Structures are given as C-alpha cells and as structure tokens.
C-alpha cells in the first residue's frame, strides 16, 4: 500500500505473491547508497527472485521504482488500483489454500536453492 525499501523490500521478495499500488509507493534496494552491503543470504534472495538485469540495475543504482514499473520489470506480480490491493492479495492467497504444504515447501526449496541455502544456514 506504500513504500517498500531496504529490509522491507527484501521481505517482500520472500512472499509467494506481491501486489503493489500502481499509483503510489516505491520499491527500492538502497544498500549502495546507505553503504550497508547485502549479506550473502540477502543477495541470494535477490538473485533467486528477480530477473538478473533487473536485480543488477536496482542493486547497483539504488534507485526507486514505482508500482507500474515494478510490475513491468517482474519485481512484483501485479500493480493495481489502491482499492484492489487487499482484495487482489486475498484472491491470490486463496489460490494457495488446499495445496499440500510439504509439496509446496519442496517446490520452493528447489526453485530458490540459493536463497534457501543461505538463509537456512544463517538461522
């Protein structure tokens, strides 16, 4: 519903689905500007979840992008009008109900091996 910066942006990358307002808010990975390098786990999450050219651009530039651009570049699943953020999020979440949790966990481990490997070692 608003901005997702730094740690909040990283948390949003860990979600199964992310919805952003099309008219307000920014996604930003400002590590390079605040002089706080990513941990290996953070870098792995970014690498696993974002298209490589997009990840490179956002990490190296530290620039912020709005909802429409975030959607176009594959950072979020959808950018919708403000009144559709919650309903659309609920609709997407409902598509996961009834899925076998163990199978879903295995699928995610195999799809995102870098992030899972680094993050599980750091816990």
The answer to whether 25 and 67 are in contact (CB under 8 A) is: yes
Residue 88: strand pairing partners:
none
Number of neighbouring beta carbons within 10 Å of residue 72: 12
Residues making up the chain, counted from first to last: 123
Separation CA 89–CA 60 (nearest Å): 30
Separation CA 32–CA 16 (nearest Å): 26
Q: Could you tell me the two tokens for 105? A: 């966990």
> What's this model's pTM, rounded to 2 decimal places?
0.88
Domain ranges within the chain, ordered by starting residue: 4-121
In order along its 123 residues, the chain shows pLDDT tens digits of 778 999 999 999 999 999 999 999 999 999 999 999 999 999 999 999 999 999 999 999 999 999 999 999 999 999 999 999 999 999 999 999 999 999 999 999 999 998 888 877 765
Helices 101-111 and 113-121: angle between axes, nearest 10 degrees: 100
Output the CA–CA distances (angstroms, integers) from residue 17 to 35, 91, 94, in the order listed: 29, 11, 11
CATH architecture of 4-121: Alpha-Beta Complex (3.90)
């Amino acid at each position: 519903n608003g901005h997702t910066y730094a740690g909040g942006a990283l948390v949003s990358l860990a979600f199964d689905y992310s919805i952003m307002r099309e008219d307000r808010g920014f996604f930003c990975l400002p590590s390079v500007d605040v002089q706080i390098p990513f941990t290996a786990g953070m870098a792995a999450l970014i690498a696993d979840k974002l298209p490589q050219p997009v990840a490179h651009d956002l990490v190296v530039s530290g620039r912020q992008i709005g909802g429409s651009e975030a959607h176009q570049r594959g950072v979020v699943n959808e950018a919708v009008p403000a009144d559709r953020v919650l309903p659309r999020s609920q609709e997407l979440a409902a598509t996961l109900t009834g899925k076998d949790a163990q199978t879903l966990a295995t699928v995610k481990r195999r799809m995102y091996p870098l992030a899972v490997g680094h993050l599980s070692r750091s816990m």
